[in-house]
């Protein structure tokens, strides 16, 4: 990406985004669980599972657990991960 000169305001916005990224990822993962239950087509479900994998990787969910979740492709199993993240059972970085 080319070097950009961001205004001080833009720099603060970008900084706050990355400071709160874990919370944003938690929220997005819980939204994905809901969307998986509501998805009507396989194409929608596949895209949601890909996004869930990216987010879980960013949140440093253990690789074996990610693999298990993706093999199961069960939104209820993914919901357990969300619950573990929110309760603190899975430690975030």
Distance of CA 82 to the CA centre of its chain: 9
The two structure tokens encoding residue 73: 């492709």
Residue whose entry in the numeric block shows the structure tokens 């305001």? 9
Estimate the crossing angle of helix 8-19 against helix 21-38, to 10 degrees.
60
Distance of CA 29 to the CA centre of its chain: 4
- Per-residue pLDDT in tens (0 to 9) along the chain, 93 residues: 456 899 999 999 999 999 999 999 999 999 999 999 999 999 999 999 999 999 999 999 999 999 999 999 999 999 999 999 988 887 765
């Amino acid at each position: 990406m080319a070097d950009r000169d961001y205004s001080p305001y833009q720099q603060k916005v970008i900084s706050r985004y990355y400071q709160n990224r874990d919370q944003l990822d938690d929220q997005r993962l819980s939204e994905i669980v809901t969307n998986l239950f509501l998805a009507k087509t396989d194409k929608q479900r596949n895209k949601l599972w890909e996004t869930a994998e990216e987010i879980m990787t960013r949140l440093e969910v253990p690789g074996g657990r990610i693999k298990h979740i993706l093999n199961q492709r069960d939104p209820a199993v993914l919901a357990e991960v969300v619950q573990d993240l929110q309760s603190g059972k899975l430690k975030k970085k």
